[in-house]
Amino acid sequence: MLTFDNRFLNTLPGDPNPRNHSRQVHGAFWSRVLPAPVAAPQLIAHSPEVAAMLGLGDAQMRSPAMVEALSGNGLLPGMESYATAYAGHQFGNWAGQLGDGRAILLGEAVTQSGPHAGERFELQLKGAGPTPYSRRADGRAVLRSSIREFLCSEAMHHLAVPTTRALSLVLTGDQVERDMFYDGNPELELGAIVCRVAPSFLRFGHFELFASRGESALLRQLIDFTITHYFPHVAAAHAGASERIIAWYTEVCERTAKLIAQWMRVGFVHGVMNTDNMSILGLTIDYGPYGWVDDFDPGWTPNTTDAGGKRYAFGRQPGIAQWNLARLGDALATLGDPSPEALGDALAQFERTYSREVNRIFRDKFGLRDDAGHPDDAGDNEATIDAAFSLLVQQETDMTIFFRTLATAASVDALHAAFYSDAAWQEARPPWQAWFERYAALVARQHPSPDSLAARAARMNAVNPKYVLRNYLAQQVIDAAHQGDHAPISELLDVMRNPYDEQPGRERFAEKRPDWARTKAGCSMLSCSS
Ligand code: AMP
Ligand code: MG
């Protein structure tokens, strides 16, 4: 049984217009809207951990009433459905009102017992039909993108990267028309719905919407709501409105910095870091044309829509996050108080937090120490890491395999496994050998005992995953699903549950991208069409 307390709906003003047609919505945070029914819902995968977090067992997950709710065909007692209003900057340009165009909230479930008792989670169907915010689109989602969102939400969680979660994946039995590469070749595809779960789906764009319209009272109301319920420690520590906003915005900057540092740790590229895709809680949100770097290439973007500008490429994510935070700061500045200067000072916290986090993370990934007591440690660590980065970008080198190999590499030849071609390895071996000798000497200096070395390997294996949701692995699962075989979805989810463990018999899931996947759609090239 789920228990609902729909606080967002019950405490913030909504749109009085009950009709579901595309429009500009003013003076409101949400519009009531019912999910549009689907023809033949089928639950094809679910996350047992998310179900348990909500207090749901396996039988409850599979019950007809639950499957109806997860497909938009009916509401469970206590559920109230609505879509929220937000705006955003897309690809650097102001886009005006966007809103939940195909995401419909079902309410806020409050877990009644177990380790998550008292915690509150929004349930949100993605692909459940049109809303007042759908503009000209259909409100639906296709199977391929829904599989990708379902799997990646959970993979990120198990990798310990902050993220929204995915409860379920439902095949709707309806078809959806999509022009995948925007080249005038639309095709009918299978429709699907993911039920996403998070404490809140609020985005930077929610705040930008009210700021852009000069609706200051609503903006203040939203800020108060957010701080009171999601940042209660900020509310407790600061009495004045202006200090509160600064403290809260500073924390949003810190959380976002930590999030991006985690993306860089695991090789995740979001692909569409528009301000409407930035969570106010610092979660990874909206899995669209994301990708995982196979080859360590800071210039790589999975998003074909971004192929020209590469605005959202792997290595640009920190700078873009900072730009997005500045847009949030602009929105807050419309209140007049706090001052733009105070907001600018708070934004500076992003850079400080990011560089501290990313330095720590990469020191850990390389298994180096800053507490070994040698006066040269800091400088030697930095020089060693920088030298590795400049070599890594020269040849196609698999990021995940490279780092995973370092923990146990006895000689430079262990690194061969990370290279995408033997020719590249032959060319790269001499400079890597020079690097490896320096690195091994530094490691020996910092870890003088066998115990210390063993602890180092364990620590490295806890930050360098063996298994990540490689683009081609997700695509293989999608191809199987299109043939009617859904078992590989849960099988891949199961692998991603323990990404830091060796999983005997499952080595194939840790292999570098095969050659056939180099340029295949879905494996290295993804569009926003979903
Ligand atoms: P995205 O690029 O997926 O983050 O979406 C940007 C905006 O477009 C959001 O407001 C989405 O809700 C909306 N949107 C994307 N796809 C659809 C769709 N198929 N139907 C309605 N709205 C959509
Ligand atoms: Mg989005």
- Is residue 12's pLDDT more than 90? yes
Tell me which amino acid residue 282 is.
G
CA distance readout (Å), 386 to 381, 432, 506: 9, 13, 33
- Is residue 1's pLDDT more than 90? no
Helices 487-496 and 143-158, interaxial angle, to 10°?
20
φ/ψ bin of 329: left (φ > 0), alpha (ψ from -120 to 50), beta (otherwise): alpha
Q: For ligand 1, pick from 124, 134, 290 the residue to mutate: most ligand atoms within 8 Å of CB.
A: 134
Q: For ligand 1, pick from 23, 84, 102, 174 the residue to mutate: most ligand atoms within 8 Å of CB.
A: 102
Closest-lying ligand 1 atom to the alpha carbon of residue 274: 4
- Is residue 528's pLDDT more than 90? no
Spatial CA neighbour of 96 closest among 29, 24, 27: 24
- CA–CA separation, 479 vs 158, rounded Å? 24
Per-residue pLDDT, 383: 98
Instruction: Identify how many contiguous H helices and E strands the chain contains and give both numbers.
Output: 17, 11
Summarize pLDDT for 286-331 with one digit per residue, the tens: 999 999 999 999 999 999 999 999 999 999 999 999 999 999 999 9
447 φ/ψ angles, rounded to the nearest 5 degrees: -130, 75
H helix or E strand, kind and range, residue 203? none
The radius of gyration computed from the CA coordinates of the chain, to the nearest angstrom, equals 24
Spell out which residues line ligand 1, taking CB within 6 angstroms: 98-102, 133-134, 137-140, 272, 276-277, 286, 288, 528
Summarize pLDDT for 20-44 with one digit per residue, the tens: 999 999 999 999 999 999 999 999 9
Per-residue pLDDT, 500: 98
H helix or E strand, kind and range, residue 436? helix 422-446
- CA–CA separation, 145 vs 186, rounded Å? 16
Q: Based on the number of CB atoms within 10 Å of its own CB, is 27 exposed (0-12), middle (13-18) or buried (19 or more)? A: middle
Q: Any idea which ligand is nearest the CA of 189?
A: 1
H helix or E strand, kind and range, residue 268? strand 268-269
Neighbours of 414 (CB within 10 A): 15
Per-residue pLDDT, 267: 98
Q: What average pLDDT does range 339-356 have in this prediction?
A: 98
Per-residue pLDDT, 177: 97
Closest-lying ligand 1 atom to the alpha carbon of residue 140: 19
Mean pLDDT score of the chain, rounded to an integer?
97
Percentage of residues in the chain with pLDDT exceeding 90?
97
Q: Are 138 and 128 in contact (CB under 8 A)?
A: no
SS3 call for 424: helix
Per-residue pLDDT, 239: 94
Spatial CA neighbour of 266 closest among 318, 314, 213: 314
Spatial CA neighbour of 108 closest among 193, 12, 191: 12
Tokens for 127? 């692909």
Residue 522: pLDDT band with limits 50, 70, 90: confident
Tokens for 42? 């089928």
- Nearest-CA residue for ligand 1 atom 7 is 98
- Is residue 477's pLDDT more than 90? yes
Per-residue pLDDT, 201: 99
- CA–CA separation, 152 vs 159, rounded Å? 10
Residue 367: pLDDT band with limits 50, 70, 90: very high
Q: Any idea which ligand is nearest the CA of 312?
A: 1
Q: For ligand 1, pick from 20, 22, 98, 142 the residue to mutate: most ligand atoms within 8 Å of CB.
A: 98
Q: What average pLDDT does range 488-504 have in this prediction?
A: 98
Per-residue pLDDT, 180: 86
Per-residue pLDDT, 519: 84
Summarize pLDDT for 79-114 with one digit per residue, the tens: 999 999 999 999 999 999 999 999 999 999 999 999
Q: Does the active-site annotation cover 276?
A: yes
Catalytic residue among 100, 276, 377, 398: 276
- Nearest-CA residue for ligand 1 atom 2 is 528
Tell me which amino acid residue 449 is.
S
Q: Which of 343-357, 491-505, 510-524 has the lowest mean pLDDT?
A: 510-524
Q: Are 140 and 102 in contact (CB under 8 A)?
A: yes
SS3 call for 200: coil
